[in-house]
Structure 1
Amino acid sequence: MIEVKILYEDAQLIVCVKPPGMPSQVERSSTMDLASWLKNYLALKQGDGARGKSPYIGVVHRLDRPVGGIMVYAKTPKAAAGLSRQFSEHRAEKDYLALLTGRLPEPSGTLVDHLEKDGRTNTSAVVAKGGKKAGLDYRELEEKDGLSLVEVRLHTGRHHQIRVQMAHAGAGIYGDMKYNGEGTRKRNEKEGIGSGNPELCLFSCRLTFKHPVSHQKMCFEVLPEQGRMTIDEWPSLSYYKKRK
C-alpha cells in the first residue's frame, strides 16, 4: 500500500505530497492514482456512517507522473472552482527543485520560450514560431561534480515545461529520458550506473495559494526524503529548514 503524506486538511481542501511515479488523477492504467487514494482515505475517515457516498475530490492542478511533490486537492465544488481559477490565472506560486546534468548559462535568470505539444508522442518542443509562451525563473543553489541543483518558479504551466526549457537551455534534468537521455546516460556511465529507469530529478517543493473560502495565504514547503536531491546530498537545502 502506497503511503501519502498529508500536510494539511480542512473542510474545503487537502494538501499532500505526491510520491514519484503515482499519477495525479485517474489514468487508463491500473496504477493507483492520488485522487483515488485520497477518496479512499476520506472514506475510511468518514466510517460506516457515510457508506455508499463517495467523497468529493476535485483535481485543480497536476504533476507529471514521474514528478513528486506538493499538491492541493479540493474537497468541495466551491473550493475546486476557487482553486482552479487561481491556477488557470497563474496566481498560485509553484516552485520546484531540479537536478541538472550540467549548468545553465547564468547562476540565475529567466527563461522564456514558445512550446508546441505533439499529442502523438506526448512531448513538447521549443519552436521559433507559434506555440504557447512559457516562462520560468531559476536560481542555482549548488554545483558539484558536473551536476547542478536549481530552484525553479513557474510563470506558466505548460506541458513538460521545466523539462523542455532546461534541456533547450543546455542543462537537462537528470533521469529525464525523453528530453535529456544522452546527458543522463553519460552521467550514469561516469558513475558506473547500469541501464534502467533512473529517477526523474524534479520535485515540487513549495506551493503557495489563497484559501478558496477564507482567502488566507497558505504556503507549504517540503524537501525530497529519498533519491538524489535530499538535504544530505545538497547542504544548500538547509535554508528551507531555517525558514520554518
Structure 2
Amino acid sequence: MNIPILFEDNHLLLVEKPINVPVQEDRSGDPDLLTILKDDLKVRYQKPGNVYLGLVHRLDRPVGGVMVFAKTSKAASRLSDLLRKNVIERNYITVVYGTPKKKRGQLVHYLLKDSRKNKVSVVSPNHPEGKKAVLDFEVLESKKGFSLLSVNLHTGRPHQIRVQLSSMGNPIYGDQKYGERFSKVGQQLALWAHKIQFEHPVKKEPIKVESIPPSKNPWNLWEKVKIRKPEKGTEVSHETVDERQLIFK
C-alpha cells in the first residue's frame, strides 16, 4: 500500500492516511496503518527486530488526511503532552448537508460513547459519564444543497466532529452512522484531516503539514475547471487544474 509521507525526520513521521484504512489493528483483520508504517520503516532502514512507532492520535477508519506518528518514545511522550494542553492545531475540512445558520461559531457538547454499538450520543452536561467536546467551525462556501466547512478541534473525542455537526442539524455527507436520514449506503464520508501544526517536540521548530482530499464527489464541487485556449488548428481541450488549496486555506 502506497502511503504518502508528508514529513519525516529522526523523531517524527507524518503521513497521509488513506480512507477506509484502520489506524491500528481491529476485529476486521484488515491491513492497518500502524503495522504498514512499521513494516515500511523496517525495510527502508534495514532495522532488525521490532520497530518503534508511537500512535499519538487517531482518525476514524473512513477519514483520510494528515496523521502524525512518533519514531521515538521521547517524541511520543512530548506530543501526547502537547495534545493534552491543546496546543496542537488540528484543522479538518468537511462537506455537510444544508447550510448552517451561522457563518462561523463554536460548538460545545457533552458526549457519551456506547462501546458495544460503537456510537456516540449527546448527553446533558450533568451526565456523570459525559465528556466535554469543543470545536470551532467556519462555512467556507455553500452550493447545491451542501456546505464546505473548516473545523478546528479543541478536544479529541471519538466521532466528535461527526456527532457535533449532526447535532447542529448539518450531518456530514456520506455519514450513515450520524446522518442516516440523508446519506445513502455506499457513499464515502466527506471528512478530511486537512492540516496539523505544532512545535517540534525535540527541535522546538514549527511544523506545519497539509493534505488535500481526493478529486472525487463531493469534494469536486469546489474544484475550478479552466479551459486552455488551443493553438490555431487544434481541437479544443479541457484541462482540470487543481486549485482547491485556494479555497481550503
TM-score of the alignment, normalized to the shorter chain, above 0.5: yes
Deviation at 1:80, TM superposition (A): 0.7
Residue in 2 that maps onto 1:207: 196
More helix by share: 1
- Name the amino acid aligned to 1:40: D
Q: Cα distance 1:80–1:176, how it changes in 2: closer, same or farther (>3 A)?
A: same
Residues 103 and 170, structure 1, Cα contact 8 Å, conserved in 2: no
- Please, which of 77, 81, 87 is the counterpart of residue 73 of structure 2? 77
Q: Which amino acid aligns with 1:220?
A: V
- Deviation sequence 1:45-69 (CA, Å, 0-9, x none): 123xx33x22111001000111101
One-letter identity of the residue aligned with 2:201: P
Per the alignment, in what secondary structure is the counterpart of residue 233 of structure 1?
helix
| Alpha-carbon distance change, 95 to 243 in structure 1, aligned in 2, over 3 angstroms | closer
Count of residue pairs the alignment pairs up? 229
> Which residue in 2 is equivalent to 1:111?
107
Q: 2:93 aligns with which of 63, 77, 97?
A: 97
Q: Report the secondary structure of 2:245's partner residue.
A: helix
Q: TM-score, normalised by structure 1?
A: 0.88
Cα distance in 1 for partners of 2:247, 2:176 equals 34
Map of 2:147 onto structure 1: 148
Residues 200-231 of structure 1: per-residue CA shift (max 9 Å, x gap): 0000000111111011121111111233354x
Contact 2:17/2:66, CA 8 A, preserved across alignment: yes
* Equivalent residue, structure 1, for 2:157: 158
Q: State whether residues 101 and 184 of structure 1, in contact with CA within 8 Å, keep that contact through their aligned partners in structure 2.
A: no
| Equivalent in the alignment of 1:124 | 120
Identity of aligned residues (%): 40
Q: 2:216 aligns with which of 210, 218, 227?
A: 227
- The 1-side partners of 2:22 and 2:122 are apart by 25
Deviation, 1:120, is 1.6
Where in structure 2 are there 5+ consecutive unaligned residues?
A: 225-241
Instruction: Report the Cα distance in structure 2 between the residues aligned to 1:78 and 1:31, rounded to whole angstroms.
Output: 30
Residues 179-209 of structure 1: CA distance to partner in whole angstroms, max 9, x if unpaired? 0011114xxxxxxxxxx32100000000111
Structure 1 residues not aligned, in runs of 5+: 186-195
**Higher Cα Rg, which structure:** 2
Q: Kindly provide the amino acid, as one letter, of the partner of residue 122 in structure 1.
A: N
**1:188 corresponding residue in structure 2:** none
TM-score by length of 2: 0.86
Output the CA distance in 1 between the equivalents of 2:244 and 2:38: 35
CA distance, structure 2, for counterparts of residue 26 and residue 92 of structure 1 = 25
> What does residue 240 of structure 1 align with?
245
Instruction: Give the root-mean-square deviation of aligned CA atoms.
Output: 1.9
